[in-house]
Amino acid sequence: MSDADDWRRVAGLRWHAQGYASVHGDLLARMRAIDARFVQWAQAEAATDYQFAGLMPLSDLRRAQYLQGFPHLAVFPATLAPDPSRLRGVAATSTTTDTLDLPFATTCDSILPPAACFGVYAALRDTSLHAPHIATTCCTCYRNEAGVAWLRRQRSFAMRELVCVGTREEVQAFLARNRERVDAFAKALGLDAHWEMATDPFFEAERDPRQLAQRLDPLKHELRLHGGLALCSVNDHRNFFGEGFGIDRDGMPAHSGCVAFGLERWLYACIDAFGDDCRAWPALDAIA
Amino acid sequence: MSDADDWRRVAGLRWHAQGYASVHGDLLARMRAIDARFVQWAQAEAATDYQFAGLMPLSDLRRAQYLQGFPHLAVFPATLAPDPSRLRGVAATSTTTDTLDLPFATTCDSILPPAACFGVYAALRDTSLHAPHIATTCCTCYRNEAGVAWLRRQRSFAMRELVCVGTREEVQAFLARNRERVDAFAKALGLDAHWEMATDPFFEAERDPRQLAQRLDPLKHELRLHGGLALCSVNDHRNFFGEGFGIDRDGMPAHSGCVAFGLERWLYACIDAFGDDCRAWPALDAIA
C-alpha cells in the first residue's frame, strides 16, 4: 500500500490529496465500531463525556503552552478582511482557481483544536478536585503536517481520548489500566504492533526544555504498527496541565494523563490486517 | 434568556465568548438524543451515512459556487508562514496575549465546511444515478458570523443533514415527507415553532441572481422558534448542485434537496421549553 492512489481500492473511502479523508457506508460503520470499543473503556471508567466546540479559545490554549512548542503545526480559523472590493475579488477568483491567495484578516482569538484533551483541562480550569476526574471526548483535530498519507497522516483527523486528572498515583494507575486494554485489543485483532517510547515533535526541539524532559524521563509511549505508525499514545503529563490550568487535587497542582487514539489510523490498521473490503472483516465487537 | 451570561444557569454548557459552545455530561446525552431522532428518519429513508473530513477542498467547493455567494462568511484553515524567526515571534507572543496578530501564509487549498451537505454532492461528482441517492451526515460547520449568541448563533456549530439527490419529483417528495416528520416532532415537543419562507444571506444580495431566484420562487423554508430562530431549513436546490457537480439522474442534471438541523439550536429550544436542568426534561426518545 505504498502508492498514493491505493486508497481507491478501499470501498467507502475518499482521500483528498490536500491531506484528509471522508468515509461512508460500511467503512464508516467499522470506524464507529472501533471507536465504540474505546468508548466502552471510558464507560468502564465512569468517564464524563465531553463534546468540545470546533474551535478553541487562544486564552484556553495559552495555558497549555501549545503555541510555544508547536507554532509550525498550528492551524487557525482565518476569515477574509472585511473590505468589499477584496471580498468581490475572492468571489471572482474562486470561480476558476482551486488554490487561492487570500487576503486574510490577521487578528485571531481561536485555534482549530490540535488535540482533544486540552478542552478537558480548560473545562476544569481554576477548580479544586477532591476525586479523580475521568473524561472522554472525540474531536476533529488539525495539524499543519508537512507530508500526508491517506488515513495515516492527515491535516485533519479524528482523535478519541480518555483523560484522567487526579493525583500522581491515580493517573499512573489509569494509564496502566488502559494501556493493558489497548494491548489486549490490538493482540485480539492480530495487529503487528508494539509499544515504544516517544517524544513530541517540538518546534526547534533542541531549544525546548520539554523535549529534554521527555527524553530524560519517558512520559510518552506509543503503540506502533509494524514499528512505525502510532495507533495510540499513552501520555503522563505529570502536573504540567494542572499547573497551567490552575487545577488542584487536594491542595496540590493536579496530575493528568491521557490515552489518545487516531481513529483513521485504527481504520488503516484494520484495512492492513483484514483487507480492502470491510464487509469481509471479522465482527469487531465480537473480538474480545 | 436575553442576558449574555444566562448560559451559566445551564448545567453541562460552557459558552465561549469567541462564539462557540462546549457541551458535556447529561446535556450532551440530550443533544445526542435529539440527533438520534433525525438519524432515525435518515434510517427510515435508507440513507447512506457519510462522515466528511474536517476540511473541504476548494476544488469541491468551487462547484457549489459558495465563495461567489458568501465570501464574507467563509472560514479558512490558515497556517503560519514557515519563517523560523516569525514562528519564534508567535511562540513568544502567545505566552501573554489571547488575541494574536498572526503572520498567516496566504495560499490556501481548503475551507472549513460552511454546510454539511456539500460533501454529498462532492462524493457523487461526475457520476450518473439511476435511483435516488439519500444521504445523511453530521458535520461541524464554520461561519464568520458578525454577531453571536450562545447555542443560537455560533461561529462553529453542529449541523445534521438529510439529503436527497434524484429527480425533481423524488426530491420534492423527500422534502415533503421529512418536513412532516420535523413538524410532528416539534409539535410533540410542544415548541412554539412555525414554517416561514426564507432566503440565504448572500453577500451583496441585490447583485446575486440566486437571491432574486429564491424570492421569485421560494426554495427555502425554515421552522422558526417564536418566529425567529431557525431550527430546521428545508431546501429545494432544483438542479443547481446537479449541474455544478456534474451529477446526472437518467441523463439529466440531478435535482437535490436537503433538510438541515442546527443541533445546538434544538438544544436551545429544549432548554427554552423544559428548563435549565436537563435532568428534569421529559425523555426525548419517548416523545412520539
Which residues of chain B are within 8 Å of residue A55 when distances are taken between CB atoms?
A: 16, 18-20, 142, 155-156
d(CA A71, CA A75): 9
Nearest to A280 by CA among A10, A35, A36, A15: A10
Question: Would you call B51 and A31 a contact, using CB atoms and an 8 Å cutoff?
Answer: yes
Question: What parts of chain A have a pLDDT lower than 70?
Answer: 1-3, 212, 214-216
Please report the pLDDT score of residue A212 as a whole number.
Answer: 66
Tell me the pLDDT tens digit for each residue of B78-114.
Answer: 999 999 999 999 999 999 989 999 999 999 999 999 9
In this model, does residue B48 exceed pLDDT 60? Answer: yes
Report ipTM (2 d.p.): 0.94
Query: DSSP secondary-structure letter at A282?
Result: P
Residues of chain A contacting residue B126, judged by C-beta atoms under 8 Å apart: none
Tell me if chain A has a CB within 8 Å of the CB of B99. Answer: yes
pLDDT for the residue numbered A102: 94
CB distance from B192 to chain A under 8 Å?
no
Select the residue of B28, B54, B74 nearest A20 (Cβ to Cβ): B54
- Domain boundaries defined on chain A: 11-75+112-286, 78-111
Between CA B207 and CA B5 the distance in angstroms is 38
Distance CA A262, CA A272 (A): 15
Secondary structure (H, E, C), A223-262: EEECCCEEEEEEEEEECHHHHHCCCEECCEECEEEEEEEE
- The CATH classification number of B6-75+112-286 equals 3.30.930.10
pLDDT digits (tens, 9 = 90+) for A119-138: 999 999 999 999 999 999 99
Residue B206 is predicted with a pLDDT of 72
**Across the interface, do B18 and A104 touch by the CB < 8 Å criterion?**
no
Question: How far away is chain A from the Cα of B272, in angstroms, using its nearest Cα?
Answer: 21
Residue A200 has a pLDDT of 81
Out of 3.40.50.2300, 3.30.930.10, 1.10.3720.10, 2.40.30.10, the CATH code matching A11-75+112-286 is: 3.30.930.10
Candidates B51, B54, B98; nearest CB to A142 = B54
* Neighboring chain A residues of B90 at a CB cutoff of 8 Å: 67, 71
In the numeric block, which cell numbers belong to residue B122?
462532492
Residues of chain B in contact with residue A138, where contact means CB-CB under 8 angstroms, are none
The CB density around residue B187, as the number of other CB atoms within 10 Å, is 12
HSE value, Cβ hemisphere, 13 Å, CA-based, for A221: 18
User: Quick one: closest CA in A to B55, which residue?
Assistant: A156
Amino acid identity for residue B34 in this structure: I
pLDDT band of residue B285 (cuts 50, 70, 90) is confident
| B134 in contact with A, Cβ within 8 Å | no
